[in-house]
Amino acid sequence: MPMAEKEIRDVAQAILAAADRTSSIAPITDGAADFGLADAYRVSAAVTALRMARGERPVGWKIGFTNRTIWDEYGVHAPIWGPMYDTTLAHADPADGPVACPVSTLVEPRIEPEIALRIGALPDPGMDDAALIACVDAVGHGVEIVQSVFPGCRYRRRLRAARLLSLRPADPGRIGRAGELARPARRFRDRALL
C-alpha cells in the first residue's frame, strides 16, 4: 500500500535533516516494510521540493544502475533517476586546480567514478538509439561523492532511489552553472543513455 502524503513529507524531512546534521537515521524499510520504488520516487520528489524551497536549484540528472549486469544483485530492473543541484555540483577546470570537497560535511561518504553526459537537445521517448545519442553534445569524466544517511549504507534495494546524494564543494563560487554539465530533462522510464 502506498504511503500517505504526510508520511512521504515526514520521511523526506527526516532524510534532509539527517544530511544537514551529518548524522544517520534508520532505513525507511525498518519502519515501513512495504516501502517500494514508487514511494522512493515520491520521497525523492519531496526532498527535491524541500531543497528548492530553501533555494537550491536542480541542474541535471544522475542516472544510476545503467549497468544491466548488476540489476539482479541490487533488485532493480531499470535505471534510477535522481536530481543534481547547483549546491551539489562542482565544475573542475584544470587551470583552477583541484576542487575541494570537505568530507566532514558528508554522512559516510564514498567515491564513484562516473561518465558525465551533457544533453544538448531534449530527448524524446520515441527516438531510436542514433537519435538519442545525437542529443548528447559533450561527454566527460566525473566523480560522484555519495553519502548515505542510513548506517553502513544499509538499505534495502528498493530504497536506493530515495537515498540522498550530495557533493558539497568548499567554494560556492566554483559551482557549475545550470547547463554546464546537464540540463534538466523529462524522465524516461524505459531508456538509459548508457
Report, as an integer, the average pLDDT of 64-91.
81
- The pLDDT tens digits of the residues spanning 124-155 come to 989 999 999 999 988 888 888 888 888 876 55
pLDDT 10s digits, 17-56: 999 999 999 888 888 888 888 898 899 899 999 999 999 9
- DSSP characters for 55-105? T--EEEEEEE---GGGHHHHT--S-EEEEEETTS-B---GGG-PPP--GGG
Which domains are present in the chain?
Answer: 5-174 (3.90.850.10)
Cβ distance 58 to 85 under 8 Å? yes
Rounded to two decimals, what is the model's pTM?
0.70
The length of the chain is 194
pLDDT exceeds cutoff 70 at 167? no
